[in-house]
C-alpha cells in the first residue's frame, strides 16, 4: 500500500527516526518503522487483518472506520483507508484506551 499522512506532524514522526524517538521513545520509534514497512508490503488493509499482521484490527464506536496496529502497549498506530485505492492514511499514534 501507499502511505499518506493526516498532517506534517505525523509525517515527520513516521519519516524521521530522531523525531519519533524524541516524541515517543526508542521502543515505539523502532516498532513504528516495522509497522510502516508492513503496511507498505500488503495490498490492502483487509489482507493485513486476515493475516493478523501487527495486531491490526478494526475499531468501533466513535472510531468506526479506523484501524489500529499495536506498538508498545498501550500505544497504537491509528490509520484509515484513504480515498485513493491502495492507499492508507496514518492519522495518529495514541493510547486510546
* pTM, entire model: 0.93
Q: DSSP letter string over the chain?
A: -EEEESSHHHHHHHH-HHHHHHHH-HHHHHHHHHHHHHHHH-S-HHHHHHHTGGG-EE--GGGTTEEEEE-STT-EEEEEE-SSTTEEEEEEEE---
Share of the chain above pLDDT 70, in %: 100
Please report which confidence band the pLDDT of residue 27 belongs to, taking 50, 70 and 90 as the band edges. Answer: very high
Cell readout for 84 is 485513493
Amino acid at each position: 500500500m501507499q502511505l499518506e499522512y493526516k498532517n506534517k506532524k505525523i509525517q515527520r514522526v513516521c519519516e524521521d527516526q530522531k523525531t519519533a524517538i524524541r516524541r515517543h521513545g526508542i521502543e515505539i520509534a523502532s516498532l513504528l518503522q516495522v509497522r510502516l514497512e508492513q503496511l507498505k508490503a500488503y495490498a490492502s488493509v483487509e489482507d493485513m487483518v486476515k493475516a493478523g499482521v501487527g495486531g491490526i484490527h478494526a475499531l468501533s464506536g466513535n472510531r468506526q472506520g479506523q484501524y489500529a496496529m499495536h506498538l508498545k502497549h498501550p500505544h497504537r498506530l491509528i490509520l484509515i483507508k484513504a480515498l485513493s485505492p491502495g492507499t492508507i492514511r496514518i492519522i495518529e499514534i495514541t493510547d486510546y484506551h
